[in-house]
A and B are shown apart, each in its own frame.
Chain A
Amino acid sequence: MMFDANTGGGSNDVQWCFSQVKGAIDDDVAEADIISTVEFNHSGELLATGDKGGRVVIFQQEIENKSQPQCRSEYNVYSTFQSHEPEFDYLKSLEIEEKINKIRWLPQKNAAQFLLSTNDKTIKLWKISERDKRPEGYNLKEEDGRYIDPNTVTALRVPVFRPMDLMVEASPRRVFANAHTYHINSISINSDHETYLSADDLRINLWHQEITDRSFNIVDIKPANMEELTEVITAAEFHPHQCNTFVYSSSKGTIRLCDMRASALCDTHSKLFEEPEDPSNRSFFSEIISSISDVKFSHNGRYMMTRDYLSVKIWDLNMESRPVETYQVHEYLRNKLCSLYENDCIFDKFECCWNGNDSVVMTGSYNNFFRMFDRGQRRDVTLEASREGSKPQQVLKPRKVCADGKRKKDEISVDSLDFNKKILHTAWHPQDNVIAVATTNNLYIFQDKVN
């Protein structure tokens, strides 16, 4: 066991309760409203979502209401802005989707907040700032902006700042464009607070946050002859503390750890994490289900977690030969792979996340189920994000999927699962037991029951 009995975050001790749900109620989902990324900022006060329509919505947690300690404060809309617009590449005759693939918050340096948002091709740095005062008392200007005839001015006054209703402004400060031929799948901010990386299918680029007209290519796996292509990059992330270290995962189920001190080009990895395939599980779809869809370092930087189609794996950075823990997310889907291939569900890219003290990991599944695995207690739970369980403070009831025909009461059979309802994106508050779970077009916020 890696950890002691969990110190706040264990799925066994915690009872998860419904807190809020954001988004449209009706079942007819507009494609633009489909949530494509969810991310807490470093303090957990802000929660950002991106959607297929290129919009970013930021929620802010209200200051805790001391008179009502039994419930944590809620998240309310803080700012909404259009981050990316659809574009057309005339040279290649291709439309560039405005869908937000990833949002990453920068560490806060001043009163304003900064985040990076990216679509398939372009990364943007947004400044989100508050304005709660405005100058009043101009001599030559009315409050509504009309100019005053100087001849009518009889006395002069000094303008002063007066409080106003809070206004949150989002403005694009940098646009990092034209650096990626293929589709960007990841961005990750370095612990040096100056640089960040962006990864597409075949390349990883290193940027400085201030410089938009150039970036350094640090990984390039494009073969000389594209017919020899065997794998692509699926995710990349900087180490949380070591500014020289990053990892990237591949469609072949491998993870490469690279050290930027070793050479300018990190095509050669420092470490290669790979688990040998189980030959008894070989199928038509072995390559697809072994493709890694997400990689996340633990907060302490000692471990990393990978998500492939059926499982979550925890790797010790010091052991490359196999993961130290493997959790089956929905093993009952293994003999449904044909159908899942036909309806394209097998290509779904599930993300995963750690809790604040790295004792629990979480990932999504189908039927609006999501799963938590308590590493210390070796327990797991399946919960559902649905409007039916959405009374305030209502405790979520654990769910169970029945793989064989003998369905017990309250169990759900595999064939009843709704594969259109999938939870791809989840996020965990960096300190508290508050989680954000995105269904197709709704954002659910759950928190632990405070006694």
Chain B
Amino acid sequence: MINTMECAVDAQSLISISLRKIHNSRTQRGGIKLHKNLLVSYVLRNARQVYMNEKYAEIYRMQQYEEVMTVCNEIQELNPLDLAEDCEEQSGDCCGNDGVSEPASLCCALLPVSHLTAVQSAHIQAPSACSAPLSLQSDEVCKETEPSFYRSCCAEAYPVSNWDFSTVNNNLHCNKTTVLDLDTHVVTTVENGYLHQDCCASFQQCCQGAQSPAKKRKVDFEYYISDIEEVPDFTPCKRAKFEDCSYANSEHLDTSNISNLISIFGSGFSGLVSRQADFEQALNGQFCSKQALASLGAWTRAIVAF
């Protein structure tokens, strides 16, 4: 594991610096230095590794948090008597076209009254929160996911004992929490503060879908990460089939340059000495960096001197 604490420079700035070095080497006197570029590509690979690990962890954490909030808010909204019916119905809408999650029928631990406003605001956020991960995906990917994908909430059980089960909202009599562990794909139900694992019939869809959504999610993260780096006015290219997405984070400064430079290497390091036309096209932002960054492992070590 790379020790990232050695300096304050973060992985992304290292990527930026490295790409700049590679770019500058093309115009250096004496031709491209194979040795130096190879070493720079190693730094690039290492920085990318760290960057993606950090992003993955961050998104995973964010995902967990949002699911927690989502489920909690759902509990706020639902009439407990409608739980059984709404369960499957709602879950189908979760990942629907509108991107807004109708509160899924998953049970959640109840929130104390004092948190009601927070829940409400969180509820407002919840659709966006639920869809925030969605916004990082392409629509295409979103549609492919199992509906029950977003019914899961946090992987860790709540400290249910801290929660106040009697609330102003008479909806809140549910005392069950169902948890889907994304790593082990195990559905766990917390009842009255007691934890036991089950895979109840009403959530069967969830369980069955547990495998693929989790896997797909991991795959999607790679796409998320590359998305974050793109400029807001990204236009799709011919190579990748991803659609345009909006971005929560838009990195300014070198991002466009990074994207453009990364895109040069989209099909292997032969991009370093690709034709002038390709280079100009890249500068115009016609290329897509997602694929490039995703395939970084393949090309980082490929250097064509001549």
Which A residues lie at the B interface, using CB under 8 A? Answer: 92, 94-97, 99, 120, 181-183, 185, 201-202, 225-232, 234, 251, 280-288, 291, 335, 337-339, 341-342, 344, 347
Indicate if the CB atoms of A229 and B301 lie closer than 8 Å.
Answer: yes
Shortest Cβ distance from residue B201 to the other chain A in the assembled complex, whole angstroms: 49
Indicate if the CB atoms of B302 and A251 lie closer than 8 Å.
Answer: no
Whether, in the assembled complex, B268 has its beta carbon less than 8 Å from a beta carbon of chain A, the answer is yes
Whether, in the assembled complex, B17 has its beta carbon less than 8 Å from a beta carbon of chain A, the answer is yes
Q: Which 5 A-B pairs have the closest CB atoms?
A: A227-B302, A287-B42, A338-B7, A97-B30, A94-B31
Indicate if the CB atoms of B34 and A201 lie closer than 8 Å.
Answer: yes
Whether, in the assembled complex, B275 has its beta carbon less than 8 Å from a beta carbon of chain A, the answer is no
Indicate if the CB atoms of B305 and A182 lie closer than 8 Å.
Answer: yes
Known: A227-B269, A228-B302, A338-B9. 10 other contacts (CB 8 A): A94-B31, A96-B30, A120-B31, A183-B31, A283-B6, A284-B6, A285-B46, A287-B39, A287-B42, A288-B39
Indicate if the CB atoms of A227 and B299 lie closer than 8 Å.
Answer: yes
The residue that A181 contacts in the complex, of B3, B50, B301, B306, with Cβ under 8 A, is B306
| Closest B residue by C-beta to A349 | B35
Shortest Cβ distance from residue A206 to the other chain B in the assembled complex, whole angstroms: 21
Distance, CA A229 to CA B305, complexed state (A) = 11
Indicate if the CB atoms of B268 and A227 lie closer than 8 Å.
Answer: yes
Indicate if the CB atoms of A282 and B303 lie closer than 8 Å.
Answer: no
Whether, in the assembled complex, B14 has its beta carbon less than 8 Å from a beta carbon of chain A, the answer is yes
Shortest Cβ distance from residue B22 to the other chain A in the assembled complex, whole angstroms: 13
Indicate if the CB atoms of B38 and A232 lie closer than 8 Å.
Answer: yes
Distance, CA A183 to CA B38, complexed state (A) = 14
Most chain A CB within 10 A, of B31, B268, B298, B304, is at: B31
Indicate if the CB atoms of A227 and B298 lie closer than 8 Å.
Answer: yes
Indicate if the CB atoms of A232 and B35 lie closer than 8 Å.
Answer: yes
List A contacts of B21 (CB < 8 A): 344
Shortest Cβ distance from residue A366 to the other chain B in the assembled complex, whole angstroms: 18
Indicate if the CB atoms of A335 and B6 lie closer than 8 Å.
Answer: yes
Interface residues of B, count at CB 8 A: 37
Indicate if the CB atoms of B30 and A347 lie closer than 8 Å.
Answer: no
Whether, in the assembled complex, B33 has its beta carbon less than 8 Å from a beta carbon of chain A, the answer is yes
Indicate if the CB atoms of A342 and B17 lie closer than 8 Å.
Answer: yes
The residue that B43 contacts in the complex, of A120, A182, A287, with Cβ under 8 A, is A287
Distance, CA A226 to CA B303, complexed state (A) = 6
The residue that B30 contacts in the complex, of A95, A281, A285, with Cβ under 8 A, is A95
Distance, CA A114 to CA B4, complexed state (A) = 51
| Closest A residue by C-beta to B49 | A284
Q: Which of B7-33 contact A (CB under 8 A)?
A: 7-9, 11, 14, 17, 21, 29-31, 33
The residue that B270 contacts in the complex, of A97, A227, A232, A338, with Cβ under 8 A, is A227
The residue that A229 contacts in the complex, of B7, B29, B38, with Cβ under 8 A, is B38
Asked whether A341 and B17 contact (CB < 8 A) given A183-B33, A227-B268, A284-B43, the answer is: yes
Indicate if the CB atoms of B3 and A251 lie closer than 8 Å.
Answer: no
Indicate if the CB atoms of B31 and A95 lie closer than 8 Å.
Answer: yes
| Closest A residue by C-beta to B14 | A284
Shortest Cβ distance from residue A427 to the other chain B in the assembled complex, whole angstroms: 23
List B contacts of A96 (CB < 8 A): 30-31
| Closest B residue by C-beta to A284 | B46
List B contacts of A181 (CB < 8 A): 305-306
List B contacts of A338 (CB < 8 A): 6-9, 14
| Closest A residue by C-beta to B45 | A287
Indicate if the CB atoms of B268 and A232 lie closer than 8 Å.
Answer: no
Would you give the 0/1 interface string for B67-96, flagging 1 where the beta carbon is closer than 8 Å to chain A? 000000000000000000000000000000
Asked whether A347 and B29 contact (CB < 8 A) given A227-B269, A229-B303, the answer is: no
| Closest B residue by C-beta to A225 | B302
List A contacts of B43 (CB < 8 A): 284-285, 287-288, 341
Indicate if the CB atoms of B2 and A282 lie closer than 8 Å.
Answer: yes
Q: What would 21 A/B residue contacts be, using CB atoms closer than 8 Å? A: A94-B31, A94-B306, A120-B30, A181-B305, A181-B306, A183-B34, A185-B35, A228-B301, A228-B302, A232-B35, A251-B38, A251-B39, A280-B3, A281-B3, A282-B1, A282-B2, A284-B43, A287-B39, A337-B7, A341-B43, A347-B39
| Closest B residue by C-beta to A335 | B6
| Closest A residue by C-beta to B9 | A338
Indicate if the CB atoms of B35 and A251 lie closer than 8 Å.
Answer: yes
List B contacts of A95 (CB < 8 A): 29-31
The residue that B7 contacts in the complex, of A185, A281, A335, with Cβ under 8 A, is A335
Most chain A CB within 10 A, of B35, B38, B298, is at: B35
Shortest Cβ distance from residue A221 to the other chain B in the assembled complex, whole angstroms: 12
List B contacts of A92 (CB < 8 A): 31, 306
List A contacts of B4 (CB < 8 A): 284
Shortest Cβ distance from residue A228 to the other chain B in the assembled complex, whole angstroms: 7
Distance, CA A195 to CA B42, complexed state (A) = 36
Most chain B CB within 10 A, of A120, A281, A283, is at: A283
List A contacts of B6 (CB < 8 A): 283-284, 335, 337-338
Shortest Cβ distance from residue A369 to the other chain B in the assembled complex, whole angstroms: 23
Distance, CA A420 to CA B299, complexed state (A) = 33
The residue that B301 contacts in the complex, of A227, A234, A339, with Cβ under 8 A, is A227
List B contacts of A99 (CB < 8 A): 30
Asked whether A283 and B2 contact (CB < 8 A) given A227-B298, A227-B301, the answer is: yes
The residue that A97 contacts in the complex, of B8, B29, B301, with Cβ under 8 A, is B29
Q: Which of B133-165 contact A (CB under 8 A)?
A: none
Shortest Cβ distance from residue A286 to the other chain B in the assembled complex, whole angstroms: 8
Whether, in the assembled complex, B111 has its beta carbon less than 8 Å from a beta carbon of chain A, the answer is no
| Closest B residue by C-beta to A288 | B39
| Closest B residue by C-beta to A91 | B306
Indicate if the CB atoms of A230 and B301 lie closer than 8 Å.
Answer: yes
Indicate if the CB atoms of B38 and A282 lie closer than 8 Å.
Answer: no
Indicate if the CB atoms of A229 and B2 lie closer than 8 Å.
Answer: no
List A contacts of B305 (CB < 8 A): 181-182, 201
Shortest Cβ distance from residue A90 to the other chain B in the assembled complex, whole angstroms: 13
List B contacts of A225 (CB < 8 A): 302
Whether, in the assembled complex, B36 has its beta carbon less than 8 Å from a beta carbon of chain A, the answer is yes
Distance, CA A109 to CA B33, complexed state (A) = 37
Distance, CA A99 to CA B42, complexed state (A) = 27
Asked whether A231 and B38 contact (CB < 8 A) given A97-B29, A183-B33, the answer is: yes
List B contacts of A287 (CB < 8 A): 39, 42-43, 46
Distance, CA A97 to CA B7, complexed state (A) = 36
| Closest B residue by C-beta to A339 | B7
Whether, in the assembled complex, B47 has its beta carbon less than 8 Å from a beta carbon of chain A, the answer is yes
Distance, CA A96 to CA B306, complexed state (A) = 13
Distance, CA A96 to CA B32, complexed state (A) = 11
Shortest Cβ distance from residue B227 to the other chain A in the assembled complex, whole angstroms: 24
List A contacts of B3 (CB < 8 A): 280-283
